[in-house]
Structure 1
Amino acid sequence: IVVKLGYLEPQIRSIAKRSMMALTTGSTDELFTRLPYRELSRPIYPLDGEFDAELELI
């Protein structure tokens, strides 16, 4: 039996012999770089990797 959830519920975990994480595409994709971001100021961490951030304490 395959259950596609972001995590195993305690009731399912108690009867599961093992669990696997499958990084699949969709509206809840675990890999943020695959999501089609629009109207987003760039660069932004972690999507754009290494860059010098201009941070200020607020």
Structure 2
Amino acid sequence: MHPALTGERWAHRVVADLGVAPSRRTGLAVVETAPGGAFGEITAKTAVSLRSRAGASAC
């Protein structure tokens, strides 16, 4: 059985249609959002706890 690709310590960066979030020791931090997207939209559509990184920009 293979571990999930997004499991802890397996993924270094999550790239999705809503934005980009590198994996850090402190969790995922959104660094870019899709054009017209917002951090609140991303957090509303995911079950993962996310942080907004200062200076996050639109892709």
TM-score w.r.t. the length of structure 1 is: 0.25
TM-score w.r.t. length of structure 2: 0.25
Tell me which protein shows more helix as a share of its residues.
Answer: 1
Report 1 or 2 for greater relative contact order, CA contacts < 8 Å, sequence distance ≥ 6. Answer: 2
Relative to its length, the structure with more strand (as a share) is 2
